[in-house]
Amino acid sequence: MKTRVWVVDNIVDKQQVYPQIREAVEWLRAGEVIAFPTETVYGLGADAANTAAVEKIFAAKGRPSDNPLIVHVASMAQAEAVAASIPPMAKTLMERFWPGPLTLVLPKRAKAVSERVTAGLPTVAVRMPDHPLALALIEASGLALAAPSANRSGRPSPTTAAHVLADLDGRIAGVIDGGPTGVGVESTVLDCSGGVPTILRPGGVTKEALIEAIGRVEEAAAVDDEAAPKAPGMKYTHYAPKAPLWIVAGPPAFLQRLVDESRAEGKTVGVLTTEENRDQYAADVVLPCGTRQALETVASRLYDTLRRFDETNVDLIYSEAFPEEGIGAAIMNRLRKAAGGRAISEQRK
Ligand code: AMP
Ligand code: MG
């Protein structure tokens, strides 16, 4: 399959992008899969009600089919059409954070979306992306779009159309190139299907902001379990660069010692750092990823930085660790998955 690329330049105003995406809209309506930018990462979208179309997402990504997909909507009416009910608290969150990087898990409405989208669960995950192109695509097609990140399963999520093509060229009908995404990490997934709302995945909307809005929020134990697997390599890794990644808790001098040890063994070593610390390291490849002063910039550049290591010949990568507050929680969650649990702390060494 030849993958079509539509470069859309004026994305300030939704109305102006409609003519530019007409073909993509037709193909979505015909059951094809199309990659498109959102404010978090590029998504790989298909008509959520069309099982054959949704199956093409799993095939293109090589994604395990027991992993449910997020349904993207452009209006409250569309959200109401896929959810059986919207609890008052979820409504408060939608008013406050939509459009935006918050996915709500709600009781699902029977037959509204394909069973392949919800992986047989009684719930459906819904979000309204804060990106004029994504909203225009959903509106113009009139479809709720099931869309995971537009990468091959296990790889870092795409934050540019070039990342999408690196993974999926020839495997999908098309990609809408709207430039780099902003937030850079995926949406926060919040279970609002009953009981105290629970964060299933930290993301673009912080736990602190959720607590401020609705008072009480819990974190799923599974998030912690996944974050700290008992032994490296036991768990399937996500977001992973090709070279093994280690998260290093400790000052730059400690990380540099690890670099020196590995280089003494003949290894080619990469370091993932920040603008503040980039001059502190002597390694084969040193890539700064945003600034500690503004962790949003780290989130925004994280996946691109992980992918850039793949263009080098490093045998392993040592990454600095980040504070777990605010967006730092999402950064560390993704880094831990990219590292598959490999972590070294100065205290424990
Ligand atoms: P991705 O599509 O890669 O952004 O990942 C989607 C995330 O949403 C995964 O962590 C899914 O497990 C989660 N998710 C989607 N639908 C549901 C649902 N109905 N219940 C719980 N989690 C869900
Ligand atoms: Mg993904």
Structure tokens at 209: 């902001």
Task: Say how far apart CA 16 and CA 98 lie, in whole Å.
Answer: 22
Partners of 149 in beta bridges: 43
Q: How far, in Å, CA of 285 to CA of 273, rounded?
A: 11
On the CB side of 220, CA atoms within 13 Å amount to 17
Assign residue 259 the CATH number of its domain.
3.40.50.11030
Measured CA to CA, the distance from residue 275 to residue 112 in angstroms comes to 47
> Does 22 show up as a binding residue in the annotation?
no
My answer on whether 193 and 308 are in the same domain is no
Has residue 28 been placed in a domain?
yes
Distance (Å) of CA 318 to CA 11, 269, 289: 37, 8, 13
Q: Supply the range of the domain harboring residue 191.
A: 4-219
Residue 151 sits in the same domain as residue 39? yes
| pLDDT tens string 281-314 | 999 999 999 999 999 999 999 999 999 999 999 9
Are residues 119 and 28 both part of a single domain? Answer: yes
265 and 215 co-located in one domain: no
Determine if residue 312 is labeled as part of a ligand binding site. no
Beta bridge partners of 105: 125, 191
Ligand 2 centroid from CA 225, angstroms: 18
Per DSSP, 158 falls in state P
Q: What is the DSSP string of 183-225?
A: S-SPPEEEE-SSSS-EEEE--SS-HHHHHHHHS--EE-HHHHH
Place of tokens 């996915």: 103
Residue-wise pLDDT tens digits, 100-125: 999 999 999 999 999 999 999 999 99
Q: Which atom of ligand 1 is nearest to the CA of 67?
A: 12
Cα(2)–Cα(239) distance, integer angstroms: 26
Q: What is the pLDDT of residue 348?
A: 66
262 is in an annotated binding site: no
* Cβ-proximal residues to 108 (8 Å cutoff; 6+ apart), any chain: 82, 83, 84, 118, 121, 122, 123, 124
Indicate if 171 and 270 belong to the same structural domain: no
Residue 340 counted as domain residue:
yes
Report the CATH number at residue 201: 3.90.870.10
Residue 25 is assigned to a structural domain of this protein: yes
Whether 338 is in a domain gets the answer: yes
Any known ligand binding at 274? no
How far apart are alpha carbons 347 and 335 in whole angstroms? 20
Distance between Cα 24 and ligand 1 center (Å) = 25
User: Do residues 249 and 210 both lie within one domain?
Assistant: no
CA of 223 from ligand 2 middle (Å) equals 15
Cα gap 62→337, rounded to integer Å: 18
Distance of CA 344 to the CA centre of its chain: 25
Q: What is the pLDDT of residue 235?
A: 43
Task: Say what percent of the chain tops pLDDT 90.
Answer: 86
Domain assignment present for 150:
yes
> Do both 135 and 183 map to the same domain?
yes
* Residue having the nearest C-alpha atom to atom 21 of ligand 1: 105
The best mutation among 58, 61, 66, 67 to test binding of ligand 1, ranked by most ligand atoms within 8 Å of the C-beta, falls on 67
List the structure tokens of 249: 């808790």
Best residue among 66, 106, 167, 189 to mutate for probing ligand 1, ranked by most atoms within 8 Å of CB? 189
For residues 305 and 213, state if they share a domain. Answer: no
Does residue 236 lie within any of the structural domains? no
Q: Is 162 inside a domain boundary?
A: yes
Same domain, 263 and 208: no
Global pTM value: 0.93
303 annotated as belonging to a binding site for a ligand: no
Nearest CA to ligand 1 atom 13: 68
> Do residue 80 and residue 115 come from a single domain?
yes
Tell me which of 36, 200, 225, 337 to substitute to probe ligand 1's pocket, judged by most ligand atoms within 8 Å of the beta carbon: 200
Residues with CB under 6 A from ligand 1: 67-70, 105, 118, 121, 123-125, 148-149, 186, 189, 200-201
Q: At what angle do helices 295-309 and 328-339 cross, to 10 degrees?
A: 20
Same domain for 152 and 276?
no
DSSP 2: P
Ligand 1 nearest atom to the CA of residue 70, by list position = 15
Helices (H) and strands (E) in the chain, counts: 13, 16
Side-chain half-sphere exposure of 314, counting CA atoms within 13 A = 27
Atom of ligand 1 nearest to the CA of 117: 16
* pLDDT tens string 21-66: 999 999 999 999 999 999 999 999 999 999 999 999 999 999 887 8
Complete DSSP assignment for 262-290: HHHTT--EEEEE-TTTGGG--SSEEEE-S
Q: Is residue 190 part of a domain?
A: yes
**Annotation-wise, does 67 bind a ligand?**
yes
Q: Kindly report the number of other CB atoms within 10 A of residue 251's CB atom.
A: 12
| Percentage above 70 pLDDT, the chain | 95
Q: Helices 207-214 and 88-97: crossing angle, nearest 10°? A: 120
Q: How many domains does the chain have?
A: 2
Q: Are residues 182 and 259 in the same domain?
A: no
**Ligand 1 centre and the CA of 78: distance in Å?**
18
Lowest mean pLDDT segment, chosen from 10-14, 43-47, 208-212, 253-257: 10-14
Inter-residue contact 82 to 72 (CB < 8 Å): no
User: Which of 77, 84, 78, 76 shows the shortest CA–CA distance to 107?
Assistant: 84
Is residue 229 over pLDDT 60? no
Which pLDDT score is estimated for 223? 43
Non-local (6+) Cβ contacts of 117 within 8 A are 48, 54, 68, 69, 71, 124, 146
What is the distance in A from the centroid of ligand 2 to the CA of 163?
Answer: 13
For residues 216-225, average pLDDT: 71
State the pairing for strand pair 198-201/218-219. parallel
Where among 219, 237, 268 does a domain terminate?
Answer: 219
What's the CA-to-centroid distance between 238 and ligand 1, angstroms?
14
